[in-house]
Structure 1
Amino acid sequence: MDPFSAEGELLNLHNYFHQGQFQEVVDFDAVGLSKENALPARVFALRAQIALGQAKDVIADVQGEQEPELVAVGALAELAAGNESKAGKIAEKLAKESGDNSTVQVLAGTVLQAAGNNEEALKLLGNHQGNLEAVALMVQIHLQQNRTDLAVKEVQAARRWAQDSLLVNIAESWVGLRVGGEKYQQAFYVFEELAQAPATSSIQSVIAQAVAEIHLGRLEEAEAALQQAVAKDPIQADLLANSIVLNAIAGKDTKELKSSLSSIAPEHHFLADLHEKSSLFDKAATKYSSKVAA
């Protein structure tokens, strides 16, 4: 594909987004694109703004728009802005009325998944016709449900019709981190390449490399990778969450990191999961407290 053609430009935009190069997506010059290509380019730019923390700006931008794609972007922005209930209602309506739209599948599916409606999200995503973003989100949901077997099947099926796609490689690496064994090293190679290539390096790719290093037991290398990410953005939520995990494994104090994460992202899934596990531990411990005291 000619990288300077309209299709090539959109593919570049797609890759930039999924490599975490959000500012490059926002700065992309869409002048000259046809109407057909201008809409998906705008959607990517708006999604990149959301990823950069500009959800309220996006909500204002798409207010009153009627295209399902832009309504779906609005739902995602509402979710990012903390308006989960409103986002969920928009996503449910879109799923019923525009479930065959590829953008709706991914963005409304993301909102539904975030609300815990995994089965509804999977039903919507299952309507896709060769949509790699839908495949990647389905893989994430299956992994969240501890259905690694279904995640493996999704990746294997996508590999047959999307040989060397960036998203397939990334999704396969997610699965590899769950499967373990030699898959850890394979996943590391993918994330390392993304993290070290000047054109694709981003905080997300560096974090992914660090996670692979942790699984491989290479804690010093993981710390070096996370420090590299800290230099780019010291208050990135996922970076803080993974730093907490690394410090805990290394036997280091995590109090300050937890406080920082609670301050910038109090609803972060890591904190929610940590709270749930702590509550379960305390509940289990009460069964043995009287015996220990005796």
Structure 2
Amino acid sequence: MDFFSIKQNYYTGNFAHALQDIRKHTESEDDTLLFYKLKTLLALKKYEAGSFKANPIGVTFDIYVQFLKSRNISALESHVNTETASPYELNIFASALAIEGRYDESLEVCVYGIDNSESAGTTELLLLAIQVTLLDGQFSVAQTLFDNFIGAQEDNITSEDELIVNLAESYIKFATNQDTTSSNFYYFEELAQTFPTWKTQLGLLNLHLQQSNIEEAQGIINFLESDYYSVEQKEAAELYKPDFLANKITLAILSGSNNVDELKKELEQLDPNHALIQNNKKINSDFDEIVAKYNI
């Protein structure tokens, strides 16, 4: 079964269209279809617990959603048997571990699934593994994971898998400042032009900020604050607001604006667990420790 359109809409952040495509396959019980349906419903805040308990992936996802609310991972840890779980169940479990900041364990789960399964879902595990290693600052590990996967699966990668592989590679290039003004920039630019969604616009915005292209970055921010994006796409605007604010903070710092603290307070109120807020707290804490050390 071809899920290219579903995955294309999902990974470009066009969740409403992804769900429309998914609903065309009402008679299918395919695990890939269910995985993307669950993730899409959650992104759209339309997920209802217990709706898919006939499938092991649905049961695992229910427990995952409970974890997102409680931040207590114990039930998920007890439920998922790494050796018998499907790649999609491993993906759900590894995602929770990553949210917990347990990057090594999350990566271990991903790698186990990639190495021990030839079924659907291994490419998704690769993407998650790349994201986890980049979050953990293990850039060389991310590149090795990517190269090894391509070397082993090159002849088996379908068009829908290639979409995910290209995204994983773009993340590595962004994190390691590769092809910043060439192929990686053009990749996000083409995505933003071909699929003009909140997610693709934010991706391009990040590339401009990485290059300190202040005028271009401000142009995208103005575009995202226009009625088309902020009013007509209200659900997406709310979903991506924390990351949008994080980008506005970065631009404010680069341009020497005086509203940095105001934007940080707004982000902290909206999402106190956002990476930018947590990193900022860590930097301030480390600085305070240094000051205290030399004031003794």
TM-score for both structures, normalised by structure 1: 0.83
Of 265, 269, 283, the match for 1:277: 283
How has the CA–CA distance of structure 1 residues 144 and 261 changed in structure 2, closer, same or farther, with 3 Å as cutoff?
Answer: same
- CA distance in 2 between partners of 1:153 and 1:268 (Å): 28
Match of 1:158 in 2: 149
Show the 5 A alignment for 1:168-247: 168-197=165-194, 200-231=195-226, 232-233=229-230, 235=238, 236-247=241-252
Please give the alpha-carbon distance, in whole angstroms, between the structure 2 residues aligned to 1:77 and 1:186: 37
In the alignment, is residue 112 of structure 1 matched against residue 97 of structure 2? yes
1:148 pairs with one of 139, 144, 161 = 139
For the pair 1:92 / 2:77, whether they are aligned, the reply is yes
Shift, 1:168, TM fit: 1.4
Q: C-alpha offsets along residues 17-48 of structure 1, whole Å, 9 cap, x if unaligned?
A: 111111112233535554333x5324322211
Provide closer, same or farther for how the CA distance between residues 204 and 118 of structure 1 changes in structure 2, counting only shifts above 3 A. Answer: same
What is the distance in 1 between the residues matched to 2:198 and 2:83? 34
Cα offset for 1:239? 1.0
SS at 1:28 equivalent: helix
Q: What's 2:233 paired with?
A: none
- Residue identity in the other structure for 2:51: D
Matched, 1:257 2:263: yes
Deviation string, structure 1 residues 140-177 (Cα, Å, up to 9, x no partner) = 11112211111111222333423861211111111111
TM-fit CA distance, 1:225: 1.8
Unpaired segments ≥5 residues, structure 1: 1-6
Aligned-residue Cα RMSD (Å) equals 2.4
Unaligned 5+ segments in structure 2 are 231-236
Letter in 2 for 1:106: N
Structure 2 contact 178–184 (Cα < 8 Å) conserved: no
Gap change, CA 1:145 and 1:32, over 3 Å in 2: closer
Quickly say closer, same or farther: Cα 1:230–1:288, change in 2 above 3 A: farther
Give 1:72's match in structure 2, choosing from 60, 65, 69: 60
Aligned residues: 273
1: CA distance, partners of 2:186 / 2:67 = 33
TM-score (structure 2 length as normaliser) = 0.82
Runs of 4+ in structure 1 off by over 4 angstroms are 31-34
Once the two structures are superposed, residues 193-243 of structure 1 have per-residue CA deviations (whole angstroms, 9 ceiling, x without a partner) of 11111xx22211111111111112212112212332333245511111121
- What secondary structure, in the 3-state scheme, does the structure 2 residue paired with 1:201 have? coil
Identity %: 19
